[in-house]
A and B are shown apart, each in its own frame.
Chain A
Amino acid sequence: MRVVVDLSRCEGYAQCAFLAPEAFRMHGEEALMYDPGPDDTQRGPVLRAAAACPVQAILVDRLEERDAPVEASAP
């Protein structure tokens, strides 16, 4: 799965790091480091983390499995 965090919104509440510690880790007290491509087994925890984020900074891909991989290809 694919994840991106809008770190300009993130204020370091660390809810994600509690709910999905495999994908989100605090670096020091406020800075967030995350895995933009966590394993599909992490989908549940990552979606819970995205829902719990107080500033809604976590975006998870919304494409269905059948739509991926997307159109991108070499000419």
Chain B
Amino acid sequence: MTSAGTPRAFKRDGRVVVVGASLAGLRAAEALRAEGFTGSLTMIGDELGEPYDRPPLSKQVLTGWVRAGGTTLPRRRGLDAEWLLGVPAGGLDLATKHVRLADGRCVPFDRVLIATGVRARPWSVESEAALDGVFVVRTREHAESLRRALAAGPSRVLIIGAGFTGCEIASACRERGLPVTVAELAAAPLTGALGAVIGDVAADLQRTHGVDLRCGVEVTRLEGDARGRFRRAHFGDGGTVDADVAVVALGSIRNTEWLRGSGLAAGVWGVACDTGCRALDVSGRATEDVFAAGDVARCPHPLYEDRLISLEHWANAVEQAEVAAHNMVSAEADRRPCLSIPVFWSIQFGVNIKSVGVPTFADEVVVTQGSVDDHRFVAAYGCRGRVTAAVSFDSAKWLHHYRRLIETAAPFPPRCPMPDQPADARPVPVGLPGPGLLAQGATAVVTGRTRVSAASGPCTGTGGRRAG
């Protein structure tokens, strides 16, 4: 059959292709069926096997509790889908409405969902990245290889990059009792995502747990022995660290190369979309039949000046998948926007770190509850006088309140009294690094806008556009 025709006809026997068979792709496929879509459904994925959950890979898999192959996602319903797995998509032809696979096969569609996510950023020098003992963690195969290397009892583990993944891996290594060095270019861990104030808390957390934390240093070279085994890392300041294992945790690369030449507004920051997850073309117009969801999508959010925001968040993949699926099978008037407030979590060194909002969209931060010395607190983030985000360490139950402050654009610093409020709560500059570092550490990145608005200049703290 040809295109959609009416929404009802499309729902009955349209053809949907979902490119990307991980969390966003799976949840979108389930949501399509739940919405009553009875047409043909094709799932394309570059990895073999069923969709699986990634967050455990840097935590309970590395500590050895859970098998790397044991994180397959639960299903809420049968999908009645055709699965084309083990081959990545190689191209998208919007004129003939085909997805081209890397092996040359073509898959026709009426509507397509782009959910190709991200991959781990590899070490930049290929010969050094290929050394035995150098790892990244993104897939279950990666996690299984690293788990095995850790179980062998290396003399020391070097972790390059102290974003969330790097910190979680460092935590897992310490749980195993392994000596760990963490090397970070910024002044503290998590700075690219949460700013310098919380970064200092994260640094304290690492050192309290016995991590040899080196900040403000660049790893310049990975050295191997005659048998091609990683042995030593060289730093920009002339220092070295001897280790058997190096984990490269320098953030991710969005899987958009296959969309080159497709006519979509896709690039290193992801696939630009409207708020309803419809992909934009290079002219900035929303396409009718192409949608995007998950880590690869960048969508405008009205609470953040309609800037395009890329979120590598589990909950965002789920939300966008459901909105995209709904909009794929709905008439124009029934479509809905994705307006939920971003939520993120990380578990490291026995602490539950959570955030609501977009901490990189801020110029000031204030500790509003608890005590940073105890590693148990909430900090509110503000941009030009309104609350834009909050981060909690072991205080998740308070975040509902902050979510309301964000949704209502409440004044910053928040004026209402909170339980357990520190006596000397004063806002301080948020201390986000420039765009170069942001790209490596942040999981929520403000990446600019589709139209330039004369009404408001950029907020000083939003790294994505700052300093051009």
- With A4-B73, A6-B318, A71-B80 known, 6 other A-B pairs at CB within 8 A are A2-B72, A8-B343, A35-B66, A36-B56, A63-B77, A70-B50
Expressed in whole angstroms, the Cα–Cα distance for A32 and B59 within the complex equals 11
Provide the bound-state CA to CA distance between A47 and B414, in Å. Answer: 40
| Cα–Cα distance between A27 and B394 once the two chains are bound (Å) | 11
Q: List 21 A-B contacts (CB under 8 A).
A: A7-B55, A8-B313, A11-B397, A31-B352, A32-B347, A32-B352, A33-B59, A33-B65, A34-B60, A35-B66, A36-B70, A36-B71, A37-B67, A59-B74, A62-B76, A63-B75, A63-B77, A69-B50, A74-B48, A75-B84, A75-B85
Give the contacting residue for A8; candidates B21, B83, B84, B314; CB below 8 A.
Answer: B314
A62 to B79, CA, bound (A): 12
**Interface residues of chain B: helix, strand, loop or mixed (majority):** loop
Q: Kindly state the separation between the CA atoms of A73 and B78 in the bound complex, as whole angstroms.
A: 15
Please determine whether A70 and B78 come into contact, CB atoms closer than 8 angstroms. yes
Q: Is A29 an interface residue (CB 8 A)?
A: yes
Measured between beta carbons, the chain B residues less than 8 angstroms from A10 are: 345, 396
Q: Is the CB of A67 closer than 8 A to any CB of chain B?
A: yes
Nearest-neighbour CB distance to chain B for A55, whole angstroms, equals: 10
CB distance from A14 to the nearest CB of B (A): 11
The A-contacting residues of B in range 34-80, CB under 8 angstroms, are 43, 48-51, 53, 55-56, 59-60, 65-67, 70-80
A35 and B70 contacting across the interface, CB-CB below 8 Å: yes
Q: Which residues does chain A contribute within 8 Å of B71, judged by CB atoms?
A: 36-37
A72 engages B50 (CB within 8 Å): yes
A8–B74 contact, CB under 8 A? no
**Residue in B closest to A1 when the chains form the complex, CB atoms:** B74
Q: Cβ of A19 < 8 Å from any Cβ of B?
A: no
CB-based nearest A residue for B51 = A72
Residue contact B53 to A4, C-beta cutoff 8 Å: yes
